[in-house]
Amino acid sequence: MSEVIVVTSGKGGVGKTTTTANLGTGLAKLDKKVVLVDTDIGLRNLDVVLGLENRIVYNIVDVIEGNCRPAQAMIKDKKCDGLYLLPAAQTRDKSSVNPDQMRALVEELRKDFDYIILDCPAGIEQGFMNAIAGADRSLIVTTPEVSAVRDADRIIGLLEANNIRDNKLIVNRLNIDMMKHGNMMSADDVVEVLSIDLIGVVPYDEKIVVATNTGTPLAGDGTIVGNAYMNICRRIMGEEVPYENLDVKKGFFAKLGELFSAN
């Protein structure tokens, strides 16, 4: 049975595309057949994050307009077997596609894939409506900032209004040190505000910037961020996975320093 998951946030720049790329990679590493659909027509990014930018010949608008078959537009990932990308068009805009066409496309993809992950554009306009049209469930990405949480709340309302009831929260870019000092909302605070179930917490790590720039997702590579994404993937598949201890192991000197400062 295949599932259609939309990754959305409302606010831009909170990590929807990075999350999509990592979850796709993670699920593919767990032997699932996954297609990532970039619905951000006119501002495509997912291809860059996956490092597949140079291979695009056809795109989602070509598929919808019937210029090519879905299989011709899909790009196989460089590293992961079972991971495919259906890129967005860059020279068109959101109005090139309507929700009915998206629904039909997603139904078509269901035949061949275990997971269809839709990378939603920021905002609540047509692009958002297109992206959620065919979705069974959603993953809402937010950072622990008031503005992002406010937008996420609006998005949850819109998803529920469109009959998407299975909405899970990913708190992205959590800065452990700031949280411990009470300078940043914790994941629990965010969950309390939004009152939906948490499916994962991804700590802030500079590695993710490097990974994005080089087009190599981190999921499943053993780093803390990579493990966080892998755990979200397992939870998506229905496994019970305990929440990881995000307390970063400190080096000897840092511990020593703390000892002194405590005194």
Partner 1 sequence: MSQPVAIKGVKSGIVLKLDSRMDFNELLPLIKEKFSASASFFGSAGMALSIEGRQVSEAETTRIIEIIESNTSMKIGAVFTNDELLEKKFSDALRQNGVSSKDAEAERRLGRLEKENAALAAALRQNAAADSASAEIYIGTLRSGSSYACRGSLLLLGDVKQGAEVVAGGSIFVLGNLLGNVTAGAMGDDKAFVMALHLDPLQVRISDALAISEDKDATQKSKKRSIFNRPESDKGTPEVAVISDGHIVIKKFDRTFLNSTEFLKAFDNREENINE
Q: Which is nearer to partner 1, 99 or 215 (CB)?
A: 215
Task: Evaluate whether 234 touches 30 at the Cβ level (below 8 Å).
Answer: yes
CA distance linking residue 111 with residue 105, whole number of Å: 11
Q: Which is nearer to partner 1, 88 or 187 (CB)?
A: 88
Residue 128 engages partner 1 in binding (rule: CB under 8 A): no
Residues 6+ apart with CB under 8 A from 210: none
Count of residues interacting with partner 1 (CB under 8 A) = 19
Residue 206 engages partner 1 in binding (rule: CB under 8 A): no
CA distance linking residue 110 with residue 179, whole number of Å: 40
Residue 84 engages partner 1 in binding (rule: CB under 8 A): no
Task: Evaluate whether 75 touches 85 at the Cβ level (below 8 Å).
Answer: yes
**Beta bridge partners of residue 51, listed in sequence order:** none
Task: Evaluate whether 12 touches 122 at the Cβ level (below 8 Å).
Answer: yes
Residue 99 engages partner 1 in binding (rule: CB under 8 A): no
Range in contact with partner 1 (rule: CB under 8 A) among 4-12, 116-124, 213-221, 231-239: 213-221
Q: Which is nearer to partner 1, 48 or 246 (CB)?
A: 48
Rounded to the nearest 10 degrees, the angle between the axes of helix 99-110 and helix 126-133 is 30
Q: Candidates 14, 18, 19, 62: give the one binding partner 1 (CB under 8 A).
A: 62
Reduce the secondary structure of 172-194 to three states and give it as a string.
Answer: EEECHHHHHCCCCCCHHHHHHHH
Closest Cα partner for 234 from 71, 8, 18, 30?
A: 30
Residue 220 engages partner 1 in binding (rule: CB under 8 A): no
Residue 42 engages partner 1 in binding (rule: CB under 8 A): yes
Residue 123 engages partner 1 in binding (rule: CB under 8 A): no
Q: Candidates 175, 186, 216, 227: give the one binding partner 1 (CB under 8 A).
A: 216
Residue 43 engages partner 1 in binding (rule: CB under 8 A): yes
Question: Which positions touch partner 1 (CB under 8 A)?
Answer: 42-44, 51, 53-58, 62, 67, 78, 90-91, 213-216
